[in-house]
């Protein structure tokens, strides 16, 4: 995959990833203790949906736009909160408009939820996107932007002094060995900080590679979310988010949210959740 995110901002994959991210952050921040957040592949920070890049694919129209146009009656709370975060960011660019103007990437969503006591490091290796990310957060002392390999950051920054962390790994999957790199980074992270919460986005194109990656996480406490959409053979049609050490009530929120997402993203969309092993009613984070 050649994945400059500006082409795909607000698509079905963002919907799944950012729905999960917002709910994870909310649940982790509900505990009155400091939290460290690491975004290993942060991208540009936010995306202009009117840009040439976004217009070329129009993927937001089949993703976030459909959810924003859906009736609010019966909408699950986690979806409501996610859409509110997206709309709140867009309102910074003017009064509410007929169509969404800017879509917040994961760094913007994280920044909107984190508390004054939390710490956030956003890594991006691509020079142009790293520059855009620095500009996005210029003057914001709550966000540390690093032009760096996010995989190396997992090794360098864990365990955090806060002893509580959410690590988002959302690589571009441009390399043929990306799943191997991802699995290796998780091994390093879990060896250093076994009680951290790790959220991993991955595309579903090579079923064997996905199965091998998931098998490597066997025995861990996980919640896996998947979303499949009907597309032609040239586009990504399925993706997943694997959450390791999910906080209490995350699975419950996703069980409610995913069927609604499936119903409102259009015909032929399917979603599923797999928890392994069955989650216990206790926080996953270290005290």
Q: Which residues are catalytic?
A: 170
Sign for the CA dihedral angle at 173, 102, 30, 259 comes to negative
Q: Between helices 127-136 and 106-113, what is the axis angle to 10°?
A: 30
Question: Are the beta carbons of 173 and 3 closer than 8 angstroms?
Answer: yes
Closest CA to 241 of 83, 23, 54: 23
Rounded Cα gap, residues 21 and 15, in angstroms: 10
What the block records as the tokens of 30 is: 């509900």
Q: Say if strands 165-169 and 197-203 run parallel, antiparallel, or are unpaired.
A: parallel
What the block records as the tokens of 199 is: 């959220």
**CA 186 centroid distance within chain:** 16
What is the four-CA torsion angle of 244, 245, 246, 249, rounded to 10 degrees? 150
């Amino acid at each position: 995959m050649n994945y400059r995110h500006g082409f795909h901002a607000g698509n079905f994959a963002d919907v799944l990833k950012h729905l999960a991210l917002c709910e994870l952050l909310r649940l982790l921040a509900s505990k009155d203790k400091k939290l460290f957040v690491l975004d290993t592949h942060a991208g540009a920070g936010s995306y202009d949906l009117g840009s040439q890049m976004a217009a070329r694919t129009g993927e937001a129209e089949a993703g976030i736009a459909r959810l924003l146009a859906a009736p609010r009656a019966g909408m699950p709370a986690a979806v409501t909160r996610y859409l509110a975060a997206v709309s709140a960011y867009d309102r910074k660019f003017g009064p509410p408009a007929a169509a969404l103007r800017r879509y917040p990437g994961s760094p913007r969503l994280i920044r909107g939820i984190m508390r004054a006591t939390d710490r956030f490091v956003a890594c991006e290796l691509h020079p142009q996107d790293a520059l855009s990310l620095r500009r996005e957060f210029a003057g914001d002392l709550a966000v540390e932007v690093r032009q760096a390999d996010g995989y190396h950051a997992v090794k360098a920054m864990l365990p955090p002094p806060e002893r509580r962390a959410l690590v988002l790994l959302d690589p571009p999957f441009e390399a043929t060995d990306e799943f191997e790199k991802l699995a290796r980074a998780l091994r390093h992270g879990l060896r250093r900080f076994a009680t951290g919460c790790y959220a991993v986005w991955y595309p579903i194109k090579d079923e064997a590679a996905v199965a091998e990656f998931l098998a490597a996480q066997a025995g861990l406490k996980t919640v896996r979310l998947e979303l499949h959409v009907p597309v032609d053979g040239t586009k990504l049609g399925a993706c997943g988010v694997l959450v390791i050490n999910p906080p209490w009530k995350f699975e419950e929120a996703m069980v409610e949210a995913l069927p609604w997402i499936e119903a409102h993203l259009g015909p032929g969309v399917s979603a599923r959740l797999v928890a392994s092993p069955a989650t216990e009613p206790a926080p996953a984070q270290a005290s």
